Structure 1
Amino acid sequence: MKTNRFLMLLKTRGALTATEISKELNITTEGARLQLLKLTEEGLIQSSQESKGVGRPTQYFSLTDLGNKGFPDTHAELTVKLIQLMKDTLGEEALQTVISAGEQKAKQRYQQQMNQNNSLEERIRTLAEIRSREGYMAEYTKDDKGFLLIENHCPICAAAQICQGFCVSELNTFKFVLGEDVNISRVSHIIAGDRRCAYRISL
């Protein structure tokens, strides 16, 4: 269970030091280091050093590809094969037709759970809850620029890597359910190599 807590923390927060991890998990720094050593030996996390001025470099820990694979991916291998087969046999246009149909269903499903009379923040909160139930580990923050919708995991990442139409469809769905008067843009993208997907939202 402790191991899961470590991996979950690094998944949602990104690279952290042993001291930061110990504070987040309310354990001793020595206890954190022992767990981090174990996870490193198992190939689930990796460490890197960053120099910040004078003194010894600071050591940060983050998930490896193997560590990331411990989080759910919706039947990745089969999904990729089916998408590739559709592209090869039916063509790109047929695949886009299927993605568009899925987008329409997602819009209907999300809209049924949304109250358009609610404030923008309440709609974003509901959207984050829906996405979390679907495996995206979503959350949101508020700042002076508006809101940031964050998805710490992508359960369809393998599919999205070979067909970014899925990502376009998701953004279209967000725009639809949050309202035509809302500005939303993707500012971080897992497919582009970022740790998470994030969307800047404002009126």
Structure 2
Amino acid sequence: MKYVTETTSTAPASAGVPAFGPSHAERTTRARVARLILEHGPISASALGQRLGLTPAAVRRHLDHLLGEEMIEVRRSRPHAARGRGRPAKLFVITDAGRSAFEHAYDDLATSALRFLAEQVGEQAVAEFSRRQLGDLEARYGAAMRAVPPHQRVRALAEALSADGYAAAAGTAPAGGQQLCQHHCPVAHVAAEFPQLCEAETAAFGRLLGVPVQRLATIAHGDGVCTTHVTARELTQKNDDKQESGGTSV
């Protein structure tokens, strides 16, 4: 095995590298260690070293740093030896905090991609992309919406969103109708710059539920919960009947 020997840069701070702390190369390697744990964990230190071509000491240094930042954690597994003898093997897995760090990195990439799209093609292209993305969600949720009576669709939508990580819940709105609350938004950091994502999502909810909806609050704009008001189906029906009977004429 050919090992890579890491060196700490001694370049002055004026050259863009801090006088103290890890060099850019070391941070890059540490990120690779974390990604391997994310993708292949639980994984041992020796397996990490073999995949990256690092010395045991270098792997240990990165693992200690990641453990200190609570990006990873240790799990122990006993070797498959006779009568269970031997010390438990030390394996490393990613933590929720570590997973979130990668999600934010993906957010940055998505934001950069949408920013480039807006600059090169225009804001309308971002809106069309948002509608296309939410169209896929709408197609997946459509069967679940059609499988339940209309008055149960808000709850069914909340359950479908929760299964996708949105931590959603349905409830009665204070002024009538219903509310759909999403306590987590996987794309909040992206939507903060590109509200077209929220607008496309709101429109998709209206089509799935078959009634008018209105977005009252969003995590992307700093609110604690994404809240969508869903108009009571009875009120919508009354308005339709009134228009059909000519009741709005004067």
Q: Confirm or deny a common fold (TM above 0.5).
A: yes
Q: Matched residues in 1 for 2:113 and 2:126: separation? A: 10
How far off is 1:172 after superposition?
0.3
What is aligned with 1:134? 164
Candidates 78, 85, 96, aligned match of 2:109: 78
The AA in structure 1 aligned to 2:227 is A
- Which structure carries more relative contact order (alpha carbon 8 Å, separation 6+)? 1
Aligned residues: 134
Which of structures 1 and 2 has the bigger CA Rg?
2
The secondary structure found in structure 1 opposite 2:228 is: strand
Q: Name the TM-score, length of structure 1 as normaliser.
A: 0.58
The structure-2 alpha-carbon separation of the partners of 1:90 and 1:71, relative to structure 1 and needing over 3 Å to count, comes to closer
What is aligned with 2:125? 94
Q: Can you list the C-alpha shifts for 1:149-175, whole angstroms capped at 9, x where unaligned?
A: 110011001110111000000000000
What is aligned with 1:195? 224
Q: Matched residues in 2 for 1:166 and 1:73: separation? A: 17
Does the CA contact (< 8 Å) of 1:148 and 1:200 recur in 2?
yes
| Unaligned residue ranges in structure 2 (runs of 5+) | 1-68, 70-96, 233-250
Does the CA contact (< 8 Å) of 1:74 and 1:156 recur in 2?
no
RMSD: 2.6
The secondary structure found in structure 2 opposite 1:162 is: coil
Q: Name the TM-score, length of structure 2 as normaliser.
A: 0.48
The secondary structure found in structure 2 opposite 1:200 is: strand
Does the CA contact (< 8 Å) of 1:185 and 1:201 recur in 2?
yes
Q: For 1:86-165, what aligned pairs fall within 5 Å after superposition?
A: 86-115=117-146, 118-120=149-151, 122-142=152-172, 145-165=176-196
The structure-2 alpha-carbon separation of the partners of 1:162 and 1:136, relative to structure 1 and needing over 3 Å to count, comes to same
The structure-2 alpha-carbon separation of the partners of 1:127 and 1:141, relative to structure 1 and needing over 3 Å to count, comes to same
How far off is 1:90 after superposition?
2.4
Does the CA contact (< 8 Å) of 1:114 and 1:177 recur in 2?
yes
Q: Matched residues in 1 for 2:160 and 2:105: separation? A: 16
Q: Matched residues in 1 for 2:135 and 2:162: separation? A: 20
The structure-2 alpha-carbon separation of the partners of 1:139 and 1:72, relative to structure 1 and needing over 3 Å to count, comes to farther
Does the CA contact (< 8 Å) of 2:138 and 2:208 recur in 1?
yes
The structure-2 alpha-carbon separation of the partners of 1:129 and 1:193, relative to structure 1 and needing over 3 Å to count, comes to same
- 2:209 aligned with 1:178, yes or no? yes
The structure-2 alpha-carbon separation of the partners of 1:84 and 1:143, relative to structure 1 and needing over 3 Å to count, comes to closer
Does the CA contact (< 8 Å) of 1:107 and 1:177 recur in 2?
yes
The structure-2 alpha-carbon separation of the partners of 1:73 and 1:131, relative to structure 1 and needing over 3 Å to count, comes to farther
Q: For 1:29-44, what aligned pairs fall within 5 Å after superposition?
A: none
Identical-residue share of aligned pairs (%):
26
Does the CA contact (< 8 Å) of 1:131 and 1:138 recur in 2?
yes
Considering fraction of residues, name the structure with more strand: 1
- Structure 1 runs of 4+ aligned residues shifted over 4 Å read 69-74
Does the CA contact (< 8 Å) of 2:192 and 2:221 recur in 1?
no
